[in-house]
Amino acid sequence: MTRLGSGPAVGRAAVRAVLQLGVVSLVIVAVLASWWSTGAFIGVMYLVASVTSARRIGFTRACWASIPIGLGVFTTLGLLVGTRVLPATPLAVLPTAGILIGGAMTATTLAGRRALDELHARRGEYEAGLALGFGERDAALEICRIPAGQALVPALDQTRTVGLVTLPGAFVGVLLGGASPIQAGATQLLILVALLAVETVAIAATVELIARGVLHR
Q: Give the predicted TM-score (pTM) of the model.
A: 0.83
Contact present, 140 and 210 (Cβ < 8 Å): yes
State residue 174's pLDDT score.
Answer: 64
Res. 118: pLDDT tops 80? yes
State residue 36's pLDDT score.
Answer: 92
Give tens-digit pLDDT for 186-210. Answer: 778 888 889 999 999 999 999 999 9
d(CA 71, CA 94): 17
Give tens-digit pLDDT for 27-57. Answer: 777 888 889 999 999 999 999 999 999 988 8
- When pLDDT is cut at 50, 70 and 90, the band that residue 66 belongs to is very high
State residue 92's pLDDT score.
Answer: 85
* Lowest mean pLDDT segment, chosen from 10-24, 85-99, 132-146: 10-24
Tell me phi and psi for residue 101, to 5 degrees.
-65, -40
Whole-number percent of the chain with pLDDT over 70: 88
State residue 7's pLDDT score.
Answer: 63
d(CA 82, CA 138): 36
State residue 71's pLDDT score.
Answer: 93
- SS3 label, residue 59: coil
